Structure 1
Amino acid sequence: MRRITRGHHPHPVRAEPVEAPFFLAPARKQGRPFDKLRVNGSPLRRVVLAATLAAMLMPVAATAQQAAQPPAAAAEDTATLDQRAADLIPLLNGGGDVPAAFAPEFLAQVSEPQLRATLAQVTQMLGRAEKVATLSPIAAHAADATVAYEKGTLTLKFAVQPEAPHRFIGLRLTGTQTGEQSIDEVAAAIRALPGKTGFILTRLDTPDAPPIAAIEPDRPLAIGSAFKLVILAELVREIAGGKRHWDDPITLDGGDLPGGFYADKAKGTIATLRDLATKMISVSDNSATDILLHTLGRDKVEAMLPVVGIKDQSGMRPFLSTLDMFKLKGVDGGKLGDQWLTLDDKGRRKLLAEKVAPAPIAAIPAGLFQDNKPNRLGIEWYASPADLARVMDWLRRHTETGPAAEARRILGLNPGIPADTAAHWAYVGYKGGSEPGVLDMTLLLHAKSGGWYALSGTWNNPDAALAEGRLIGLISRAAMLAAER
């Protein structure tokens, strides 16, 4: 089975995000001094939704030895922490001397380019770091800090060596907040982004209620891997009807798959529907997605489009697999894709059968998407923010009880927003999508007071790569503000 190793969020040649935003949490390994970070629970990728962050952070916690230090030493350590926190500001802004600031054991786990790429995602979202706003020691040589940026704040933890020059041995970014004070301010900031944007925040369990806030809510836009929600909906329909069960085994047939967990698995490997759905949604695994699509059938997934509320279905017909899309954009310099864009539905289906399906996976160039430039955004999955809100509402209503409730659990594995924001909700379900020039974040939110909401934001720009962190921050801020309503 051949693998596209260049896999990205839905696409093969970028390392896969964001999937989600880049609020970081450690994936602990016993006995290791550093923890490999994951992006919202998924393996490190080029943060988008999702692009991917690559960083190694040491969890910082007080030890008995540190706690027993005498007051004089504690005062000295506090001064050291104050100084080292201040030293972070130029580093956060892309300057400073990384080898001088970070201990060799830290840099052995994360390279300077990886570290700088991670920090650049924050400045992309919040502007320049201005000052350390708060500092709270949590151990003799570790502290919590809040950094004020032009457009918000960053919270972090850090730890330094006990001995001079007190290089950093741990750094963990724990959350961000943009500065918008209302949903209307968030909407205005999204509207101001270059290119085309769409946004909706709406109450789902109040019949005929108008959106709380919206920007072009009915305009279809490219949504990247958010299309996988429709595949999940068809799976839910079949499971709720008793036709399929979560533990049904699917045997890999050895056919070509895009990058993902199953791309390297041998013919005859067995995966359950639960395994496939979990990977498709929580880490946006492309191989799992294509296996599920082929198992369920393109025709049945397309038949779900009007059922789940996609009003203009032309942007999802024919319903492409991720591998179909990679071939259209990459094979023969994109000539298949150029032909696709000139055809009607019937012609596109013929092209898929006669030219796209037979095209070898090796014909997809290794450099596809590596330049981070938008590539034929007309070849995508299209839906409006209001469409995606209706899809989430359909999933909400059809996963309340019975076997289908497992899908709601799966939707909640990767909340797509930072943990401190998600904690303001009783439940957060999420799916996003991205490729160069495309970013979508769609959330299903259950308020602690009982109400259900959908929040969806999409940004397209066919002319330039996106400052993805900006939309990620704005959607996260909208989720926080909506929880406080």
Structure 2
Amino acid sequence: MVPMMMLAAIMSPSAQAQPAAATIESRAREVVALLGGTGDYDATFAPSFRTAVPRARFDAIAAQLQQALGKPTGVAAIEATGPWAAQIRIAYDGGTLNADLTLDPGGSHQIIGLLAKGAEPRGPAAQTLDAVVEQLAAQNGTSVFALARLGDGSPRLEKARNATTPIAIGSAFKLVILAELVRSIEAGERKWSDVVTLDGSALPGGGYAQQPKGTQIALRELAERMISVSDNSATDILLFHLGRAKVEAMLPVVGFTDGGVRNVPFLGALEVFKLKGVDGGALGTRYLAMDAKARRAFLDGPVRDTPIAAIPRDLFQNGKPLRIVELEWFASPNDLIRAMDWLRRHMDGTAGAELRAILSKNPGLPDATKHWRYVGYKGGSEPGVLTMTFLLQAGNGAWYALTAGINDPARDVDTLKFTGLMNRALDLAAPR
């Protein structure tokens, strides 16, 4: 599911633990019913969730899950992750679905966040990394994969498929913005505690889109939201606060070289939504016909001045890929590995402690930390695009980076299959 994820408010664990646990269990059972085709959607989900994930979209996802896993049979496990949040496991006839569940801490405690984190179909799992790569290659579209050992020199590939092939990477582009922020902090230009004051400029969906002009937000908070929950409003605030040109200058520094000039000008999230969606994509068609200089002027003029209301409300809701070959951010597996390695090398610098915490707040998959001492993560997705990139430290202290992705211009990616393979890859890649 692709809902608006929101953080639960901090409440007293001792005062809230028992009623919260019972309410979370009740809401989890309601999710099972809805995934099975019954239940009251409006009563279970908060208005913010229903806006991000209309009932028709939810039902389409539920149908995909049933096609892959059979019928849902119940709640298999609940593990609290906060006063009103939990990781849940939903049992199906043919496997298990992992998801993060977040409830509104006030009022009727409706669900404000439900994020699928991978499925585990029953049946024989891949026994080797070669088998994982083979099964990845069997999926529709173009697939890429790379596992590299990180050390003092350049990353050393241990397993790869199309490692130099740039593909659309979705929100993984945010790693470059994070790198520029880290560079500026290490250079003494900024501090994590510095604040950005909102100037009233339009923002894409996220936690800050409706905040009034004059709202102040710390760089540390923006960075964490950008990486951990892929908040697009936080992303655009940071991109334009740091400066588009500064972020572009970091592309070769962090190793985004295979993607090359395709990422210049470096687009913001709202710009991409406008280019893909306004007037059936006409704005994007005009943009693509221009050279780099003209594109910059176009972004800073007609694209900026196009109101958000011109973006179709159902953009991306039908699950069909939308110009992923032309209008996106692009990188190869090698690019993403080099970027993660750059960030790893700066974890010992003046910005290092906060950087380490930001990258590891969301490990990407529920079982990612099972065999790894440290897990940093950034993924990216939209219809037809799915990537997952991990920075990993083994129990023996050795560092690795693992990344994979699929692009399919014709159809959406089989998320369950992909995340299942990535779970298996994380397990098999861990030194024993």
Q: TM-score range by the shorter chain?
A: 0.7 to 0.9
Which residue number in structure 2 is paired with residue 438 of structure 1? Answer: 385
Indicate yes or no: 2:317 matched with 1:370. yes
CA distance in 1, matches of 2:275, 2:267: 10
Which residue number in structure 2 is paired with residue 56 of structure 1? Answer: 27
How many Å apart are 1:199 and its aligned residue? 0.9
Identity across matched positions, percent:
48
8 Å contact from structure 1 (residues 337, 376) kept in 2? no
**Which of 405, 408, 411 in structure 1 is aligned with 2:356?**
408
CA distance in 1, matches of 2:216, 2:373: 35
Indicate yes or no: 2:266 matched with 1:319. yes
8 Å contact from structure 1 (residues 199, 217) kept in 2? yes
CA distance in 2, matches of 1:357, 1:367: 21
Q: Structure 2 counterpart of 1:56, which letter? A: R
Q: Pairwise CA RMSD of aligned residues?
A: 3.6
Which residue number in structure 1 is paired with residue 215 of structure 2? Answer: 269
Higher mean displacement: 393-402 or 269-278: 393-402
CA distance in 2, matches of 1:115, 1:290: 27
Which residue number in structure 2 is paired with residue 81 of structure 1? Answer: none
Which residue number in structure 2 is paired with residue 379 of structure 1? Answer: 327
CA distance in 2, matches of 1:196, 1:262: 35
Indicate yes or no: 2:187 matched with 1:199. no
Which residue number in structure 1 is paired with residue 372 of structure 2? Answer: 425
CA distance in 2, matches of 1:175, 1:350: 41
CA distance in 2, matches of 1:480, 1:392: 19
Q: In structure 1, the residue corresponding to 2:19 is in which secondary structure?
A: coil
Q: Which runs of 5+ in 1 are unaligned?
A: 1-7, 9-13, 19-27, 38-54, 59-87, 137-143, 157-172
CA distance in 2, matches of 1:358, 1:145: 45
8 Å contact from structure 1 (residues 197, 459) kept in 2? yes
Q: Which has the higher helix share?
A: 2
CA distance in 2, matches of 1:288, 1:145: 30
Q: Structure 1 counterpart of 2:386, which letter? A: L
Indicate yes or no: 2:365 matched with 1:394. no
CA distance in 2, matches of 1:260, 1:155: 23
Q: How does 1:154-173 map to 2 (within 5 A)?
A: none
Q: Which runs of 5+ in 2 are unaligned?
A: 7-15, 47-54, 78-87, 100-115
Which residue number in structure 2 is paired with residue 182 of structure 1? Answer: 128
Which residue number in structure 2 is paired with residue 25 of structure 1? Answer: none
**Which of 250, 255, 258 in structure 1 is aligned with 2:201?**
255
Higher mean displacement: 280-289 or 475-484: 475-484
After superposition, the Cα gap between the structure-2 partners of 1:30 and 1:340, relative to the gap in structure 1 and judged at 3 Å, is: farther
CA distance in 1, matches of 2:17, 2:384: 36
CA distance in 1, matches of 2:356, 2:280: 40
Indicate yes or no: 2:306 matched with 1:359. yes
Q: In structure 1, the residue corresponding to 2:282 is in which secondary structure?
A: helix
Which residue number in structure 2 is paired with residue 280 of structure 1? Answer: 226
Q: Structure 1 counterpart of 2:422, which letter? A: I
8 Å contact from structure 2 (residues 118, 419) kept in 1? no
Which residue number in structure 2 is paired with residue 453 of structure 1? Answer: 400
Indicate yes or no: 2:19 matched with 1:31. yes
| Higher gyration radius (CA) | 1
**So what's the TM-score if we normalise by structure 2?**
0.78
**Which of 278, 299, 305 in structure 1 is aligned with 2:251?**
305
8 Å contact from structure 1 (residues 427, 446) kept in 2? yes
After superposition, the Cα gap between the structure-2 partners of 1:146 and 1:342, relative to the gap in structure 1 and judged at 3 Å, is: closer
**So what's the TM-score if we normalise by structure 1?**
0.70
After superposition, the Cα gap between the structure-2 partners of 1:367 and 1:392, relative to the gap in structure 1 and judged at 3 Å, is: same
